[in-house]
A = this chain, B = another copy of it.
């Protein structure tokens, strides 16, 4: 009856490390966090466990993070930034290359993001849905769609945003499934994803040349 449901755990970091030593501590904490997510998952992911694994004291941990959710948030933000950078790089480096190559590079960026550390990715993915990060999530998706969309628009597709949205979604689906099955052959996966994307794009409307 009471609002037990709302658990507004703080998300933002407490204070930024100012010295090299504390910087190392924060890094160690984040690495330990990723390690636990990778090896044991979200359930045994506790502040005490993270601190211990990081070789730091709980006190130190709480100096920089107000709780486990803040650690997860930081992990998510870093991973996202990495992927977005890769996608932007791929898009920009293939501006004047053949379309097929541009598509390949974008797919490769997405695959790298998910296939690298799939356990951690999956855990963070679910964690994200329980965190108040929806605004950021939306912004990220928008940024990704914007990049892909620009690439499509430059090649004459008339509804680049929709195409980008759907291409990203179906690519994600295939990549996730592959990760689930423990597929490690990126080239085979790339090949099949390319076929799906290409097939889909053939049905997408193009700007009519009058």
Interface residues of A (CB under 8 A from B): 4-5, 7, 39-44, 122-123, 125-126, 129-130, 162, 165-166, 168-174, 176-178, 180, 192, 195-196, 198-204
Contact among B40, B125, B173 with A172 in the assembled complex (CB-CB below 8 Å): B173
Q: What is the total number of copies of this protein in its complex?
A: 2
Q: Which of B41, B125, B130, B173 contacts A174 (CB 8 A)?
A: B173
Given A130-B42, A130-B43, decide whether A203 and B198 contact each other with a Cβ distance below 8 A.
yes
Nearest CB in chain B: distance from A45 CB, A: 11
Give the dominant DSSP class at A's interface: helix
7 more A-B contacts (CB under 8 A) besides A5-B40, A166-B196, A171-B173?
Answer: A4-B44, A123-B126, A169-B174, A173-B174, A195-B204, A199-B200, A199-B202
Residues of B contacting A122 in the complex (Cβ-Cβ under 8 angstroms): 126, 129
Task: Give the Cβ gap from A70 to chain B, nearest Cβ, in Å.
Answer: 15
Which residues of the partner chain B approach A40 to less than 8 Å between Cβ atoms?
Answer: 5
Chain B nearest CB from A187 CB (Å) reads 15
